[in-house]
Amino acid sequence: MTYQEQFEEIVRDQLARVEAMKNAPAAPDFASKETIIIGTIDGDGIGPIIMDACRAILEKVLADDIASGRIQLRRIEGLTIENRIARMETVPADVLAEIKECDLLLKGPTTTPAKGGDMPNLESANVTLRRELDLFANVRPVTIPEKNIDWIFFRENTEGEYALGSRGVDINDDISIDFKVTTTIGTKRLARAAFEYAKNNGNKKVSIITKANIMKKTDGKFLDLCMEVAREYPQIETDDWYVDITAANLVSDIFASKFSVFVLPNLYGDIITDEAAQLQGGVGTAGSANIGDRYAMFEAIHGSAPRMVAEGIAEYANPASLCRAAVMMLRHIAMTDEADRLEQALDGAAEDLNMPGDGTGHTAKDFTDYVIGRL
């Protein structure tokens, strides 16, 4: 296939995706559902260890609903790097079919093969799942009470640089090209989700983050569309920042506490939210939600930590990030009391346990026992 044909195929695929977005199903009403199926996916590396911890904790906090059949925790196997390589599928078809039978996913970290290594060039499982399930909003909260910081990030999840990250084209030995995608419907639905959150939760400000002065077509479109949506919410202050100065301002005592809700394209959101999580105490302390119209996926924001496995210290992995994601999941299905109980227990663990992830301190089992005891 020539590079011209590859370009044409990419454009056709993206136009078809836009049409599919226009016909997205309505969001489910979890309050009226008789049974809510939560699929749990271990992932790779430390994933099985932290998922075992999180499942045990959820079985405790949801004991009554599990016993009555209203909640089902369903193990989904097969989304491991070994199976994905053996099948040469980023998300094997039978695994994806099983995932689509669930209402929600709680997912451990999965390994993405790096370019130039011994593994084949498989796309990130997260990118594939976000696209296949149309999980357009990645939502990450960060709270640092002692600095008066209460941020929540709405990162676009299905477009930007990551949407076509494995479909770049080598024109010849001298030139390689990757792609960035911004669509009207994709940007507006993300912006509206951010402004609706701000309206419903008493947030007074939304900040739009781009590099629109350089990426004039894609980031320029993103900024213009977000501002268009902002005009529907005159009660909310809206400003915009370039991503580079945003990275600096997050560590500024002058500016940091002035931010509230952020809306960002995909790549910038990935980088900025990791910086924000580090300020909170590290990526191991933060959860992440991936929200769509039909499905929602909740996960830790850190990776699979192959170093910990290689060094034989995987048992010291901290389940806090995955459990924080479980709190977000419970809030998503309006189980507020259960979410509050779990969050309070996790706050206690953060204060009382020492989990540096270097083979010292408390283990994942210690964490599990502590949290269950607090529940």
Which tokens is 176 given? 């390689």
Report, as an integer, the average pLDDT of 74-88: 93
Q: Please give the angle made by the CA atoms of 295, 285 and 292, to the nearest 5 degrees.
A: 15
Helix (H, G, I), strand (E, B) or coil at 183: coil
Q: How far is CA 350 from the centre of its chain?
A: 21
Angular region, 116: left φ>0, alpha ψ -120 to 50, beta rest: left
pLDDT computed for residue 164 by the predictor? 82
Q: Would you say residue 74 lies in a domain? A: yes
pLDDT computed for residue 176 by the predictor? 92
Q: Would you say residue 153 lies in a domain? A: no
Q: Write out pLDDT tens, residues 221-256.
A: 999 999 999 999 999 999 999 999 999 999 999 999
Q: Would you say residue 272 lies in a domain? A: no
Which tokens is 247 given? 């990275």
111 close to 304: Cβ distance less than 8 angstroms = yes
Whether residue 119 has pLDDT greater than 80: no
DSSP annotation string for 252-295? -TTTGGG--EEEE-HHHHHHHHHHHHHHHT-GGG-EEEEE-SS-
Binned at pLDDT 50, 70 and 90, residue 127 comes out as confident
pLDDT computed for residue 284 by the predictor? 64
Q: Would you say residue 2 lies in a domain? A: no
pLDDT computed for residue 249 by the predictor? 97
pLDDT computed for residue 228 by the predictor? 98
**What size, in residues, is the chain?**
375
Beta-sheet strand order (sheet of 104-107): 71-75, 36-41, 104-107, 296-300, 287-291, 137-144, 149-156, 261-264, 205-210, 237-242
Q: Would you say residue 27 lies in a domain? A: no
Number of other residues whose CB lies within 10 A of the CB of residue 267: 17
348 close to 370: Cβ distance less than 8 angstroms = yes
Q: What is the CATH number of the domain that holds 83?
A: 3.40.718.10
Nearest alpha-carbon partner for 295 in 26, 78, 81 = 26
Report, as an integer, the average pLDDT of 158-162: 88
Q: Would you say residue 200 lies in a domain? A: no
Q: Would you say residue 309 lies in a domain? A: yes
Report the chain's terminal Cα–Cα distance, integer Å. Answer: 58
Angular region, 88: left φ>0, alpha ψ -120 to 50, beta rest: left
pTM, two decimals, is 0.79
Highest mean pLDDT out of 58-67, 173-182, 269-278: 58-67
Q: Which amino acid is at 227?
A: M
Residue with tokens 């210690």, as numbered in its chain: 366
Q: How far apart are CA 193 and CA 132, in angstroms?
A: 20
Whether residue 194 has pLDDT greater than 70: yes
Q: How far, CA to CA in Å, does 374 sit from each of 217, 339, 344, 349, 370?
A: 52, 13, 8, 9, 6
pLDDT computed for residue 139 by the predictor? 93
Q: Would you say residue 13 lies in a domain? A: no
Q: What residues contact residue 323 under an 8 Å CB cut-off, 6+ apart?
A: 53, 54, 57, 287, 342, 346, 371
Residue 96 lies in domain: 33-135+292-375
pLDDT computed for residue 1 by the predictor? 82
| Structural domain total, the chain | 1
Helix (H, G, I), strand (E, B) or coil at 218: helix
Residue with the larger pLDDT of the pair 3 and 40:
40
Report, as an integer, the average pLDDT of 125-141: 90
